[in-house]
């Protein structure tokens, strides 16, 4: 029933929880976030009911899987506040966010939809990403490096759209789209 990081779980439960996460990472990496959950359970060597009891929804599983990399992303944002160039700091972070979103095929869509959906298990994580970008954006705004009407939500959408385009075609195509958009985000 729990989705939180293992708290006072029974030893077997904890073992299965970890094993499920490990195998889910592998399966999602191979087949994307829409991969069969039966497959995940099979590979983890447990019955599917066990998977559902640990992770009631696919998003809950995804959330647990992404937690640490999300935290890394937030930490990176914090570090970049000290970067000499406000603009470069922002761009570097945006690229990191895109890499994060490219971890599993099909991840961009839930990331995008969960930003405004409070009922989503990914909601908090998405908001954290938004906040990370927000800090760097306002610094870039202050430095006059980014057009004034660009919002954090714009950047969030951009990151996901670029990640999506990249996974549908090629990372290079995503990169090209990013280049154009970033140029369009310079002050007029």
Partner DNA sequence: GAATTATATTGAGACAGCCTCAAGTTTGGC
Partner DNA sequence: GCCAAACTTGAGGCTGTCTCAATATAATTC
- Give the list of residues 6+ apart from residue 170 with CB closer than 8 angstroms, or none: none
Sign of the dihedral through C-alpha 59, 69, 64, 24: positive
Q: Around Cβ 72, how many Cβ atoms within 10 Å?
A: 12
Query: How far is residue 20's CA from residue 42's CA, in Å, rounded to a whole number?
Result: 9
Cα–Cα distance for residue pair 52/58, rounded to 1 Å: 9
36 is a contact residue toward DNA (CB under 7 A): yes
Shortest Å distance, C-beta 63 to DNA: 14
DSSP letter (8 states) at residue 4 = S
**Residue 74 interface partner, choices its own copies, DNA, none, CB cut-off 5-8 Å depending on type:** none
Site string (152-181) toward its own copies, x via CB under 8 A: -xx--xx-xxx-xx--xx---x--xx-xxx
* Residues found near DNA in the complex (CB under 7 A): 1, 9-13, 15-16, 36-39, 45-50, 52-54, 56-58
* Residues found near its own copies in the complex (CB under 8 A): 109, 112-113, 115-116, 150, 153-154, 157-158, 160-162, 164-165, 168-169, 173, 176-177, 179-185, 188
């Amino acid at each position: 029933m729990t989705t939180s990081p293992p708290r006072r779980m029974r030893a077997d439960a904890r073992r299965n929880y970890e094993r499920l996460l490990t195998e889910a990472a592998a399966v999602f990496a191979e087949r994307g976030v829409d991969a069969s959950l039966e497959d995940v359970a099979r590979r983890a060597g447990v019955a599917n009911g066990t998977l559902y009891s640990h992770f009631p929804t696919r998003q809950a599983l995804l959330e647990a899987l992404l937690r640490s990399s999300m935290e890394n992303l937030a930490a990176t944002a914090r570090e970049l506040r000290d970067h000499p160039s406000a603009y470069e700091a922002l761009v570097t972070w945006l690229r990191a966010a895109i890499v994060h979103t490219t971890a599993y095929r099909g991840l961009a869509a839930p990331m995008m939809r969960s930003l405004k959906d409070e009922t989503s298990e990914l909601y908090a994580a998405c908001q954290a990403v938004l906040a990370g970008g927000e800090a760097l954006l306002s610094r870039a705004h202050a430095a006059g490096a980014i057009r004034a009407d660009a919002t954090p939500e714009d950047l969030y959408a951009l990151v996901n759209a670029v990640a999506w385009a990249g996974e549908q075609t090629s990372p290079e195509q995503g990169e090209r789209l990013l280049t154009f958009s970033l140029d369009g985000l310079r002050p007029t």
